[in-house]
């Protein structure tokens, strides 16, 4: 489903259309990557399956890597919106955990489970994609730290606390994901995340 609101404001129709097309192309590409392999799937394969020209394809994605890793920008945006919607008097760590529910829902969606696991394997098996994933996680951490600076009333860039909290929270998210994958989803992702965040809960 494509969001129609950002921070309480309606998203323009053109932007909603762009997001819908990106989502459709992403799902199509993931199916091809899972079936043929990431390296074996070409841009020509993708545009043929989508029934569009290369020129049209590149309006939405800059590369195959962007198709795989573009989800991180979307999740970062949704995470920002979720934190912004939390009560400002709520403890920051609790706000982060509740905001992470948007990511928990992504991993707990049984309809997408096979595709999600297949794409995690694709990323782990490809050094360039793994590096790209780390880069996007670093961007998400910066975005989250900026949000926490405002929320915590600690705007100084010389104050490491918001960045440290953002990094710790994302580390919990990564730890939960790795455990969830390694244990073949024997426990709910949200439960694993709760344990990870409880281990690092600030005093």
Please provide the DSSP assignment of 33-44 as one string. HHHH-TTT--HH
Dihedral angle sign, alpha carbons of residues 54, 131, 164, 199: positive
Q: Tell whether the model's pLDDT for residue 15 goes beyond 90.
A: no
**Residue that wins the pLDDT comparison between 14 and 89:** 89
- Return the pLDDT at 77: 81
Q: What is the structure's pLDDT at 5? A: 43
Query: Domain spanning 5-199: which superfamily?
Result: Tetracycline Repressor, domain 2 (1.10.357.10)
User: What is the per-residue pLDDT across 135-182, written as a single tens digit (0 to 9) for each?
Assistant: 998 998 999 999 999 999 999 989 999 999 999 999 999 999 999 999
How high is the pLDDT of residue 162? Answer: 94
Nearest to 124 by CA among 198, 64, 195, 38: 38
18 versus 164: which is more confidently predicted? 164
Q: pLDDT tier at 17 (50, 70, 90 boundaries)?
A: confident
> Which pTM does this prediction carry?
0.80
* Helices (H) then strands (E): counts for the chain: 10, 2
First to last CA, the chain: 38
pLDDT at 203: 62
Task: Give the model confidence (pLDDT) of 40-93 as tens digits.
Answer: 999 999 999 999 999 999 998 988 998 888 878 778 888 888 999 999 999 999
Query: pLDDT for 90-137, tens place per residue?
Result: 999 999 999 999 999 988 888 888 888 988 889 998 999 999 999 998
- Classified as helix, coil or strand, 5 is strand
């Amino acid at each position: 489903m494509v969001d129609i609101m950002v921070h309480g404001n309606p998203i323009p129709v053109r932007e909603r259309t762009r997001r819908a097309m990106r989502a459709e192309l992403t799902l199509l590409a993931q199916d091809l990557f899972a079936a043929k392999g990431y390296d074996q799937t070409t841009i020509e394969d993708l545009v043929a399956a989508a029934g569009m020209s290369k020129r049209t394809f590149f309006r939405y994605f800059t590369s195959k890597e962007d198709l795989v890793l573009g989800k991180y920008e979307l999740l970062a945006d949704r995470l920002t919106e979720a934190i912004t919607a939390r009560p400002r008097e709520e403890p920051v760590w609790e706000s982060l955990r509740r905001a992470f529910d948007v990511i928990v829902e992504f991993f707990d969606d049984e309809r997408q489970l096979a595709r999600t696991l297949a794409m995690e394997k694709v990323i782990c098996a490809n050094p360039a994609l793994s590096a790209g994933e780390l880069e996007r996680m670093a961007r998400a951490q910066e975005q989250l730290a900026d949000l926490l600076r405002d929320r915590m009333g600690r705007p100084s860039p010389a104050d490491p606390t918001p960045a440290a909290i953002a990094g710790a929270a994302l580390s919990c998210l990564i730890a939960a994901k790795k455990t969830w994958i390694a244990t073949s989803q024997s426990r709910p992702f949200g439960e694993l995340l709760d344990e990870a965040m409880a281990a690092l809960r600030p005093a």
